Amino acid sequence: MLSRRGLVAGLAGSALATSLWRPAAAAAILTDDGIYTQPWFLESFLELADDLRGATDKGKRFAIMWELKGCPFCRDVHLKNFSQPAVENYIKDRFEILQLNIRGSREVTDFDGEKLSEKAFAAKYGIRFTPTFQFFPERSDGLREKPPANREVARGRGYLEPNRFVAMFRFVAERAYDKGSLEDYLKVNS
Digit-coded pLDDT (tens) for 64-82: 999 999 999 999 999 999 9
Domains, the chain, ranges and CATH? 26-189 (3.40.30.10)
What does the pLDDT average to over 98-119?
Answer: 97
Q: Tell me, what's the pLDDT at 129?
A: 94
Q: Tell me, what's the pLDDT at 4?
A: 43
**Pairwise CA distance, residues 6 & 83, whole Å:** 35
Burial 85-120 (b: 16+ CB within 10 A, else e): eebbebbbebbbbbbbbbebeeebbbbeeeeeebbb
Confidence at 19, pLDDT banded by 50, 70, 90? very low
Digit-coded pLDDT (tens) for 50-66: 999 999 999 999 999 99
What does the pLDDT average to over 15-19?
Answer: 36
What does the pLDDT average to over 97-102?
Answer: 98
Residues ≥6 apart with Cβ < 8 Å to 147: none
Confidence at 9, pLDDT banded by 50, 70, 90? very low
Q: Are 55 and 62 in contact (CB under 8 A)?
A: yes
**Pairwise CA distance, residues 146 & 111, whole Å:** 9
Q: Are 116 and 124 in contact (CB under 8 A)?
A: yes
**Pairwise CA distance, residues 83 & 61, whole Å:** 21
In percent, the amount of the chain with pLDDT more than 90 equals: 81
3-state secondary structure of 29: strand
What does the pLDDT average to over 6-13?
Answer: 42
- Pairing of the two strands 95-101 and 61-67: parallel
